[in-house]
Structure 1
């Protein structure tokens, strides 16, 4: 295990070094929150890729593929579909050039939409950060068996809080370049080696159920769309993504980054699913069968040559840290920009803003850690987080750019109903008052339908927005 420990230690030191080297460049709020709007396309591609592919793909997606085969890619394909539309949104987002999604909501709608947006982002992003801590804790436990997964989560939380607090977006973005390159190499190199160890694809196909290689697998079409829709809608409204576009050097850099990002996630998420499928053929029983979210790290430890296995474990570890950095940093920007500066201290100095930003990163990191210690299923937590965001925020964000008739009243009602239905859906009330066939489904369809109906009907019944509100969002 010394080699694996060495690789993890080297990654931590590298990330810390990158963070510290960026500190001297952080002097203003724009430097901390959007990297001084200086990121070129190459850096944007890797920071977008690293922020998207974290425990949701490496743990939840891999667990799904281990159990159900390539049909698990329905979840990933939602993100791919979302990116096709994002290609047209990216230059508009960079042109708008603010700091956060609630900035956008107030400019297009009103202050109430901004406040509700902050609440939805806080619940969604701390939930996403929480299961990154779970993924990091699992890896720490596998590499150091004497260390419990819970203590591993606490150590990962400490790493992430420190890395994120140091230099903000500049730190996050440039760490992601190193992490993205490492993960791409490791995953692509591991797949043919593991497939050969499993006897080749012909033997793998003969070993596993035929459904592992079918379009729907053992899913119903409804279940496939329950995986597809939350991911697609999270991608379309993802604040972390918009914040990266706000950080781009130019509108052209933002558009180019989307193309590279699309190619990267299609390749890497397909490889992750393939690795999990191979892992299910290599390790159909035992410890990993009971805890399949660990399949990628487990196959790296037990199915690869030591050096490549150590690099792959390190890449997964780094990816988890990267995603946690991104999703922890994003809600901190909301609290500093949309609450502290907007309402409490509009005249705050840059020094005060940076200090409070770092304090908020620590607070949100501890809240995320508390959530992680009470979570049992990463997949369920991921779908819950995606659904809150998908139903509450994505419809009003897209309407800001593409539907001139959307009004403030429609947006506020839509955000409130989308959040309320998602949170309510898993309560005892729903399970006792609705038929089991409905109550046991995921919340995405009822929450999204309620949100869209409110946005459309209330907007059509209220006064249209002014041309001044619409101008920043025009092509």
Structure 2
């Protein structure tokens, strides 16, 4: 709240609230990008995943350097040249109003799922520490975070992200050291137990699409990270806050590369927790070993093993980091609603006061809905799996539509409609069919849920290119300047 109040004056205009007056340094933005990844999802769900299984999910992080290179080379120059704060304005120029509305709606649904997941994971350690009903903790977290977002706008969000990222990573390293050196036989026992139970496995290298193999997670990670850097308002908005193109590039490389070792630390914590409670088998209540309870193991360790001062610091930093992450999602969602709906369809000539009023009101609405989703997640088995699945479903092929317009200047609006329709059909089939019974059981999707967004994106691209090549695309609208200054991209069909 103090940081928010410090930047209150700089955030009382739409430009300040949404773009920080385009004057932030690259190192700060880079750390804030890490903070966008290192929320309570990383701090609690990644150790929980490694505790319950292995390092298969860490393969997601290995795709980040590839996605970062693609984004720095093509996506970043494109958005910086456009100067549009909304990530979806160019889709209307390319395919018409429906494309902008479709992509922005998919983004809003994705952000609601993310706000719900982060809020739920933040409430876990607080509920354990205070012995409160987790539902009340979720409600209080949602209310306080929504109020915080009112104060400082995007500049306060970015500064808070950066500060809390440093605190969280420092706390994680301290916890890891206590775990490793707290085993009866020292660090060697950790590696022996982990090897004995296959805890460092990256998953099967077999070429199957029905399980979470190394290749399935890698491809899923690449698509999700390209979506983050290419069409996620939360990231695209940060591009516009940089004071120069060079600083924006620096921020992407810093955030994209540093998250790989940082995420490895959190997975190593999960492995160390497994070895710690294997060595001290009576120290962990049996309820925490049940399926779906692994996300609570690290909070239990924090509140029962760590010294009181360190416990308080970690709980506070988890809570604050979650607040900064959620506030970033609330800020970007409010920006999308203002730019892509209110100003586009209702009041294009709205005054500054009217636009700020919309930003404040939509922040409240998104915060309320995200809190409701967090309450619904109490019964899920793994918050990480739930978030990844929801991200794949609600992503709705946004990346496919963006890439279709970005890679082909000849693809028309009609071709794009056909492509998106095919992608939505694939996404709905893969999402809904696993629960089909009776006569429909034979039509179930055999593919792993991580492939929903992969196949949805692929379907949009394939159908879009096919319709374009066959000449059924009609007349294309104005292309979205893929050859903007600073970009050497010229399209595949020029």
Q: Is TM more than 0.5 here? A: yes
The 5 A counterparts of 1:41-190 are 41-88=26-73, 89-145=75-131, 147-190=132-175
Distance 1:306 1:219 in 2: 46
Cα deviation, residue 428, structure 1: 6.0
The one of 385, 388, 409 equivalent to 2:393 is 388
Contact conserved, 1:109 with 1:469, CA < 8 A, in 2? no
The higher radius of gyration belongs to 2
Moved more, 134-143 or 454-463: 454-463
Confirm or deny that 1:441 pairs with 2:448: yes
**Given the superposition, is the C-alpha separation of residues 368 and 420 from structure 1 closer, same or farther in structure 2, using an over 3 Å criterion?**
farther
Alignment equivalent of 1:333, drawn from 324, 332, 335: 335
Match of 2:492 in 1: none
Distance 1:271 1:430, change over 3 A: same
Shift of the alpha carbon at 1:445? 4.7
State the Cα RMSD in Å: 2.6
Specify which structure has the higher proportion of helix: 1
Aligned residues: 459
Residues 61, 75 of structure 1: 8 Å contact kept = no
Partner in structure 2 of residue 427 of structure 1? 432
User: Where does structure 1 lack aligned partners over 5 or more consecutive residues?
Assistant: 1-15
Match of 1:11 in 2: none
Structure-2 change in CA distance of 1:249 and 1:402 (3 Å): farther
Cα distance in structure 2, aligned partners of 1:166 and 1:212: 44
User: 1:301-450 counterparts in 2 under 5 A?
Assistant: 301-375=303-377, 376-377=379-380, 378-388=383-393, 390-427=395-432, 431-432=436-437, 433-435=440-442, 438-439=445-446, 441-442=448-449, 443-450=452-459
Q: Which runs of 5+ in 2 are unaligned?
A: 279-283, 488-494
Displacement, 1:217?
A: 6.2
- Tell me what 2:263 maps to: 269
Distance 1:296 1:76 in 2: 21
Q: In structure 2, what is the equivalent of residue 214 of structure 1?
A: 201
Instruction: State the alpha-carbon separation in 2 of the partners of residues 160 and 373 from structure 1.
Output: 15
Report whether the alignment pairs 1:235 with 2:225.
Answer: yes
User: Against the structure 1 CA distance between its residues 275 and 398, is the aligned structure 2 distance closer, same or farther, given a 3 Å change threshold?
Assistant: same
Please give the alpha-carbon distance, in whole angstroms, between the structure 1 residues aligned to 2:143 and 2:463: 41
Deviations 1:49-80 (A, max 9, x none): 11122233233332221122222312333444
Residues 179, 319 of structure 1: 8 Å contact kept: yes
| Cα offsets for 1:377-415 (capped at 9, x unmatched) | 312321223213555111232344444444433444444
Q: Distance in 1 between matches of 2:241 and 2:146?
A: 21
1:351 Cα offset (Å): 1.2
Distance 1:294-1:97 versus aligned 2 partners, 3 A rule: farther
Does the C-alpha gap of structure 1 residues 404 and 210 become closer, same or farther in structure 2, counting only changes over 3 Å?
A: farther
